[in-house]
Amino acid sequence: MSHPRWLRNIRPYGAPAEDLLIENGKFTQRRPASNTPLAATDIDGQNQLFTAPLVESHVHLDKTLYGQPWRPNSAGPTLKDYISNERRVLREVKAPIAERAGALLENCIARGSLTMRCHVDIDPEFGLRHVEAMQQLRERYNDLIDLQLVVFPQTGLISRPGTAELMREAMALGVENVGGLDPCGIDNDPIAQLDFVFKLASEFQRGVDIHLHDKGELGLWQIARIADYTERFNLQNRVMISHAYCLGMLPWSQVKPVAERLAALGISLMSSAPADCAVPPFLSLRGTGVNVCLGSDGIRDAWSPMGNGDMLERAMLLAFRFDLGKDDELAAAFEAATVNGARALGVEGYGFDIGKPADFLLMPVETLGEAVVARPVRQVYRGGELIASGGRLLGSRL
């Protein structure tokens, strides 16, 4: 049991300065900032911006090449070409998942992400190796980050015999979410894929997270079917659609009725705010009540050499993509990288309030808007203890 200590002179989300009491890793009291001298056990917040931690809602840790020697990108041009190229690269890379994924995970923690959802490849070639490696990695860092897993049938589910059985085994191992991928574009059998995904999620009472790259009206039709299945299997607030490029390709008059359904069913959307394709219209969806969150997707892997795991930068990329410049718009981008992600992942206890875990960031900026624009170096606290500063985790576990 830890001794009580005050976090002094911090500005929650840019509000007037306060002091917060931390006891046993939780916030237990708040008061206006005091002018009394700091006690030896106090944390001096130095009038910095105080926020809840960042949330990485979609990443592929098991496939990263982070920390490895530079490798020229050889991907493309089609989605299936990307997948086959990735398989070739992963066969050639000698470093184990624990080394590559661990290095990236430590970097993400150091930049302030303390909640994360990781998609993990599963197919007859890999078997359960990636799942087991990620579960071991999660155990190693479980005191620093809350890490959810999704089984991801990258090479096809219905079209790849043996994958469905492996996904069921992964559920039995405790994986939290059932994944899917382009029910039309990859499996060419959307109803069969969605039937399997939602029945498996319902049987094990898990969440669903489906990659949807299919474009235009074909993509929109699949989103409507995902909504149908969500309602049929009573999985409201437990379903995510990742990417959903189609929503940015069609007139808003056509998208809006589907968006209203997503909002009513609590189906979240994840975007990485990519540069190379259409992006779901952030402000319009937000105005309709759709929960839109952010993820890095692949970071320095066989798909792309880009990415650094900083969710503040991802919020900036969202703002840059949609020309969000007003303070309230920049704050909305910050929410997409924080509270919206926590809601999408069903995280309990997230945020800033009495009785909640003392997990937080301190940043030397004035407002949420400045945080998104400047992406400052930040201090990262878990349970009231400093775990990262200056972009580095205090005590590597690699």
The tens digit of pLDDT for each residue in 121-171 reads: 999 999 999 999 999 999 999 999 999 999 999 999 999 999 999 999 999
Q: Do 355 and 340 have their domain in common? A: no
- The neighbour count for residue 259, using CB atoms within 10 Å, is 23
Percent of the chain with pLDDT over 70: 99
What average pLDDT does range 43-62 have in this prediction?
A: 98
Question: Does one domain contain both 146 and 192?
Answer: yes
The arithmetic mean of pLDDT across residues 254-282, rounded, is 97
| Whether residue 204 sits in one domain with residue 319 | yes
In a domain, 237, yes or no: yes
CATH number at residue 380: 2.30.40.10
Q: What is the distance between the alpha carbons of residues 296 and 316, in angstroms, rounded to a whole number?
A: 12
Tell me the pLDDT band of 1, cut-offs 50, 70 and 90: low
Is the residue at 44 inside a domain? yes
Please, is 61 exposed, middle or buried when counting C-beta atoms within 10 Å of its C-beta (0-12, 13-18, 19+)? buried
Considering the domain architecture, whether residues 186 and 263 belong to the same structural domain is answered as: yes
The pLDDT assigned to 385 comes to: 97
84-102 in b/e burial notation, b at 16+ Cβ within 10 A?
ebbbebbeebeeebeebbb
Asked whether residue 396 is assigned to any structural domain, the reply reads no
The verdict on residue 398 lying in a domain is no
Q: Are residues 355 and 384 in the same domain?
A: yes
Whether residues 333 and 302 share a domain: the answer is: yes
pLDDT for 238: 98
Answer whether 149's CB lies under 8 Å from 134's CB: yes
CA distance 165 to 199: 13
- 43 within a domain of the structure (yes/no): yes
Q: Is the pLDDT of residue 103 over 70?
A: yes
Phi, psi of 173 (to 5 degrees): -80, -5
Is the pTM higher than 0.95? The answer reads yes
Q: Are residues 99 and 214 in the same domain?
A: yes
Residue 395 forms part of a structural domain = no
Clarify whether residues 162 and 230 are in a common domain. yes
**CATH number where 299 lies:** 3.20.20.140
Do the domain assignments include residue 397?
no
Q: Is the pLDDT of residue 303 over 70?
A: yes
pLDDT for 377 beyond 80? yes
Which pair of tokens denotes residue 193? 């894929």
2 pLDDT higher than 80: no
What is the span of the domain harbouring residue 21?
5-52+350-390
- Give domain status of residue 304, yes or no: yes
Answer whether 232's CB lies under 8 Å from 224's CB. Answer: no
Q: Please state the rounded mean pLDDT for residues 197-204.
A: 98
Give the residue-averaged pLDDT of 162-184: 98
Residues 6+ apart with CB under 8 A from 254: 220
Average pLDDT over all residues of the chain: 96
What is d(CA 393, CA 396) in angstroms, rounded to the nearest whole number? 6
Give yes or no: residues 60 and 13 share one domain.
Answer: no
Domain co-membership, 232 together with 354: no
Whether residues 139 and 29 share a domain: the answer is: no
Considering only CA atoms, which of 128, 122, 134, 59 is closest in space to residue 96? 134
Are residues 208 and 174 both part of a single domain?
yes
**Count of structural domains, the chain:** 2
Please give the single-letter amino acid code of residue 65: L
